[in-house]
Amino acid sequence: MFTPRTLSFLRSLARHNDREWFRAHREDYERHVREPMLAVLARLAQDVPRFSPESIVDPKVSLYRIYRDTRFSEDKSPLKTHIAALLPARGFGRHEGAGLYFQVSRTGAWAGGGLYRPSTQGLQALRAHIAEHPRQLRTLVTSARFRGVVGELQGERLTRVPRGYPADHPAAEHLRFKQFLASRELPPEDVTGPDFYDWLLETFRAVAPLATFLNTAMRSGETAWGGYDTFADLAGSRRPRRASDA
């Protein structure tokens, strides 16, 4: 699993974010960052299907490249300063549908899942499904496991119920959501501790039913959405619940 050398490398990478430095330290990256991530994915491949059979856990699909796509970014730093993996859902493209995600950086770990940026059509399908089954989502996000692990449903929302739905609709609260997310953080000292994997698996167990619900809704209508690459931006800009908050 991850060790203090993992975080040390990621701290150094943040200070020396250039290709020449990375080439000179590629062996350290492979040994202390990539190989531990592959070990985590190998364990997840055994455990996740037991509670989320629709999730794909395959390094060829799940593991993100260390190099950034800087074509449309003002930040031209060539390398990511974290390592991340996505567990997408079967039956969707890699960056479609709802899935599970985690990353490790010098500041700690971030894990969760859901749907970050659905398309207009996808959001309409979600809202129609929520309106038709108002108790399903409410039951999921108020369960003892969900609340105890990740707290509450997260994401941007409208100030009012969207057009076409009455203000007193039984699902009015959840119809306002534009994103459907759940996540939490772990401080760096615990990323390298013996309980990291259990923390990660507990997070995914809590969030997987939400992802399954969202995918069922997305399958009920045409879907095309923005993609999970944006999860890394979310992880860097927000501070979801820490494990100690549970």
CA dihedral 196, 199, 205, 211 (to 10 degrees): -80
Q: Report CA 84 to chain centroid distance, whole Å.
A: 9
What's residue 68's pLDDT?
Answer: 93
What's residue 72's pLDDT?
Answer: 87
What's residue 211's pLDDT?
Answer: 96
Count the neighbouring beta carbons within 10 Å of the beta carbon of residue 9. Answer: 19
228-242 pLDDT per residue, tens? 444 555 555 554 444
The pLDDT confidence band at residue 171, using thresholds 50, 70 and 90, is: very high
Average pLDDT, rounded, for the chain: 90
Q: What is the mean pLDDT of residues 2-8?
A: 98
The pLDDT confidence band at residue 186, using thresholds 50, 70 and 90, is: very high
| CATH code linked to domain 4-245 | 3.30.930
For the cut 60, the answer to whether the pLDDT of residue 243 exceeds it is: no
Closest by CA position to 213, among listed 149, 138, 161, 160: 138
The pLDDT confidence band at residue 146, using thresholds 50, 70 and 90, is: very high
What's residue 95's pLDDT?
Answer: 64
Lowest mean pLDDT, pick from 103-117, 170-184, 202-216, 225-239: 225-239
65-88 pLDDT per residue, tens? 999 988 988 899 999 999 999 999
What's residue 101's pLDDT?
Answer: 97
107-122 pLDDT per residue, tens? 999 999 999 888 788 8
Rounded CA-CA distance 78/172 in Å is 43
Higher pLDDT, 37 or 95: 37
For the cut 60, the answer to whether the pLDDT of residue 164 exceeds it is: yes
Closest by CA position to 200, among listed 39, 44, 49: 44
What's residue 116's pLDDT?
Answer: 86
Is the overall model pTM greater than 0.85, yes or no? yes
Buried/exposed code over 162-201 (b: 16+ C-beta within 10 A; e: otherwise): beebeeebebbbbbbbbbbbbbbbbebebbbeeebbebbb
The residue ranges of every structural domain in the chain are: 4-245
What's residue 83's pLDDT?
Answer: 98
Closest by CA position to 69, among listed 235, 232, 234, 181: 232
Rounded CA-CA distance 25/165 in Å is 56
Are 13 and 81 in contact by the 8 Å Cβ rule? The answer is yes
Are 85 and 63 in contact by the 8 Å Cβ rule? The answer is yes
